[in-house]
Amino acid sequence: MQLHPRFFGRNLRENIVSKLMKDVEGTCSGRHGFVVAITGIENIGKGLIRDGTGFVTFPVKYQCVVFRPFKGEILEAVVTMVNKMGFFAEAGPVQIFVSNHLIPDDMEFQSGDMPNYTTSDGSVKIQKDSEVRLKIIGTRVDATEIFCIGTIKDDFLGVINDPANA
Amino acid sequence: MVTDSPVHSSSSEDFAAFLDVELDSKSSGSSSNAEKAGNEHHSDSVASSSPDEEEAEDDDSELENKRVKRSKVETAEIVEDDRGATSIASLEQNSKASSSKEICTHPGSFGTMCIVCGKMLDEESGVTFGYIHKGLRLGNDEIVRLRNTDIKNLLCHKKLYLILDLDHTLLNSTQLMHMTPDEEYLKSQTDSLQDVSKGSLFMLSFMHMMTKLRPFVRTFLKEASQMFEMYIYTMGDRAYALEMAKLLDPGREYFNAKVISRDDGTQRHQKGLDVVLGQESAVLILDDTENAWMKHKDNLILMERYHFFASSCHQFGFNCKSLSELKSDENESEGALASILKVLRKIHHIFFEESEENLEGRDVRQVLKTVRKDVLEGCKIVFSRVFPTQFPADNHHLWRMAEQLGATCSTELDTSVTHVVSKDAGTEKSRWALKHNKFLVHPGWIEATNYFWQKQPEESFSVNQTKNE
């Protein structure tokens, strides 16, 4: 954690913590996933003055809540876009794509101004803003984003709350 | 009983026999019958045959039904016993088959993961579909598959695909800094961005742009959306394309995830249908630049360019006053969009109502060709002083344009000639036309006819008059 000298003084510790929160919360690291919230500071080490700038680097150990989906995990997500290739859903910051190979065969794509996947009897419908329960079958964690591939072609997966019927 | 298995198996045998006796005496319901069948399944056939004999003695008619069921279970069991070895073999086969199924063809990827099996893919293959979602790529086989399923769906709804260009087709934009002093008045006439559905002139100060929608465009989109699934395909960048889509389609009814910009194309300075998930035989394209669609000229309906702002006129080398400077605009009901809409309706009608072939076999490109051929049907055209002398006449774009419109072109004058196209009223052929009471028209007549898909009144393209313009 690099800090400008103007933050030094009585509130040094508070300043370090608030800067840490500002810088880290909401970011994504490839190793740990999304940092949701910092829960505690373990220790703040000795500062090291950078040559020439006056900035001081403090090593900070902290605990935080992270979110990182794993392969095989069951997630609940909100559908953001439906098209003929499948649908995209979001679980917090995670982007999930469910291709139409992984949507049950009895669900068919219906185009129109509200594209959706519907069963032949019309009882189940997946459209924008539907909530679905899906299984993650692949993840990729970038520096800033997490992409997932999901499936709803399994028992107990699919729509859990349809805004159209609510 | 738990410790060693032989005891367990024999006890289950005993248990099955015991159950049978119990059940036979009690004339059980179907549920316990099923339970018994399950038990029998575990025991071997010898054990199950003995209660059967027992049952044969029993002549209770109520059990008849049950016995049939039982014997079915038994035969199934015997079959299983006989095929004990083969069934294992077939199981192995099954597992082999399923594992070969697991070798995924990777039809596409999302963030470099296969969209079907979720595996990371090393090489980037296929075509990007960034306009649908960031990081999405599809392989060629998958595109073909999607097109095939989609076309059936679409034809059921009596729709075709329509690809629309933005600039000079549906609207005209200019940089604020390129506006001439004569256009300054426009800045006070802009419509509010709060409710874009009514306005047509917008100031997008954050993009340093001013945009004028072509007259009739709202009606056009509304009507066309009944007949077509519409895409926007522009040479502008993504941000601009999305901003324009917002102006044209504030309700997001028409172009949801169907806005393609130059960032999405696969070739530079070219527009291609490879990024469009539509079968080429059902796509119509509306664009003002023919050269952008080299590979898909048969799908193209060429639009007359819409120049509202002065900067756009200069860009294309016109030195006349722009519409904005003249404080006028295209005619709403007779403008280019209105006449093209009529053409689209006609094509749609012919495609769905008049074609003899079955739906899948139809090709909108053929329909387009025939509709185009009707426009100048029966005209015979002679050109005079239009082409350079050494130029092969039948290779000139006007010649070909006239032929596509259904006219016959000729280099010789005879009585069957109906039109003489010339830039100069003084040529021999022009004088001949006047003398024999044939139409003498400016080349612009053919171009206008090509844009409006309708034979234009020859009077407004007479040679002397066009000279003054």
Q: Is residue B104 classed as helix, strand or coil in its secondary structure?
A: coil
User: Looking at per-residue confidence, does B53 or B450 come out higher?
Assistant: B450
Q: Closest to B113 (Cβ–Cβ): which among A101, A113, A140?
A: A140
Rounded to an integer, the average pLDDT of A97-123 is 85
> Which residue in B has a C-alpha nearest to residue A128's C-alpha?
B256
Handedness of CA B241, B244, B250, B254 (dihedral sign): negative
Spatial distance between the Cα atoms of B244 and B312, rounded to a whole number of angstroms: 17
CATH label, A74-161, candidates 3.40.50.1000, 2.40.50.140, 3.40.50.620, 2.120.10.30: 2.40.50.140
Mean pLDDT of B175-187: 84
User: For residues A100 and A98, what is the distance between their CA atoms, to the nearest angstrom?
Assistant: 7
Name the average pLDDT for chain B: 74
What share of chain B in percent tops pLDDT 90? 1
- Is residue A102 within 8 angstroms of chain B, CB to CB? yes
Q: Do domains A2-67 and A74-161 have the same CATH topology?
A: no
Among A84, A85, A138, the residue with its CB nearest the CB of B118 is A138
CB contact under 8 A, B111 and A115: no
Instruction: Name chain B contacts of A101, Cβ cutoff 8 Å.
Output: 107, 115-116
Query: Which CA distances in Å does B363 have to A47, B281, B349, B449?
Result: 73, 5, 13, 24
**pLDDT of B355:** 64
The domain segmentation of chain A, as residue ranges, is: 2-67, 74-161
Task: Output the CA torsion B114→B119→B123→B129 (10° steps).
Answer: 20
B317-330 pLDDT tens trace: 777 777 887 777 87
Decide if B160-353 and B376-468 have a common fold. yes
At residue B4, does pLDDT exceed 70?
no
Residues A78-99: pLDDT tens digits? Answer: 999 888 888 999 988 888 999 8
Q: Is A128 on the interface with B (CB under 8 A)?
A: no
Helix (H, G, I), strand (E, B) or coil at B18: helix
Residue B379 — pLDDT band, cuts 50, 70, 90?
Answer: confident
**Looking at domain B376-468, which of 1.10.167.10, 3.90.120.10, 3.40.50.10190, 3.40.640.10 is its CATH number?**
3.40.50.10190
Q: How do the domains of chain B map onto residue ranges?
A: 5-84, 108-138, 160-353, 376-468
Is the per-residue pLDDT at B84 higher than 50? no
What pLDDT sits at residue B206? 87
Backbone Cα Rg of chain A: 22
Q: Which fold has domain B160-353?
A: Rossmann fold (3.40.50)
Tell whether the model's pLDDT for residue B191 goes beyond 60: yes
Whether residue B468 has pLDDT greater than 50:
no
B163 CA: distance to closest CA in chain A (Å):
17
Using CA atoms, how far residue B387 sits from B10, B149, B407, B447, in Å, is: 104, 48, 18, 15
Q: Is A84 on the interface with B (CB under 8 A)?
A: yes
User: What's the pLDDT score for residue B124?
Assistant: 66
What are the start-end ranges of the E strands in B274-329? 283-287, 300-302
Q: Which residues of A touch B138 (CB under 8 A)?
A: 85
- Tell me which fold the domain A2-67 belongs to: Dna Ligase; domain 1 (3.30.1490)
Greatest mean pLDDT among B59-68, B124-133, B372-381, B392-401? B372-381
The mean per-residue pLDDT over the stretch B148-152 comes to: 82
Residue in B closest to A101 by C-alpha? B116
End-to-end CA distance of chain A: 47
Which of B449, B461, B443 shows the shortest CA–CA distance to B405? B449
* Cross-sheet strand order for the sheet of B408-410: B408-410, B380-384, B419-422, B439-441
Rounded to the nearest 10°, the torsion over CA B39, B41, B43, B44 is: 160
**Choosing among B105, B113, B145, which should be mutated to test the A contact, i.e. which has the most A CBs within 10 A?**
B113
How many angstroms separate the Cα of A118 from the Cα of each of A108, A122, A166, B156, B253? 5, 6, 17, 16, 20
Kindly report the nearest CA distance between residue B157 and chain A, in angstroms: 9
Residue B155 touches chain A, beta carbons under 8 Å = no
Query: Is residue B33's pLDDT more than 80?
Result: no
Residues of B in contact with A145 (CB under 8 A): 111
Q: What residues in B contact A95, CB-CB < 8 Å?
A: 111, 133-135
A142 in contact with B at a CB cutoff of 8 Å? yes
Residues of B in contact with A149 (CB under 8 A): 110, 113-116, 118
Which amino acid would we find at residue B193?
L
Q: Is the pLDDT of residue A107 over 80?
A: yes
Cβ pair B113:A99 closer than 8 A: no
DSSP-assigned beta bridge partners for residue B409: B381
User: Of residues A30 and B243, which shows the higher confidence score?
Assistant: B243
**Partner residue facing B110 (CB), from A84, A113, A149:** A149
Question: Strands, E, within B125-208: which ranges?
Answer: 127-128, 136-138, 160-164, 171-175, 201-204
Yes or no, beta carbons of B136 and A85 under 8 Å apart: yes
Cα–Cα dist B338/B341, whole Å:
5
How many Å apart are CA B237 and CA B290, to the nearest integer? 20
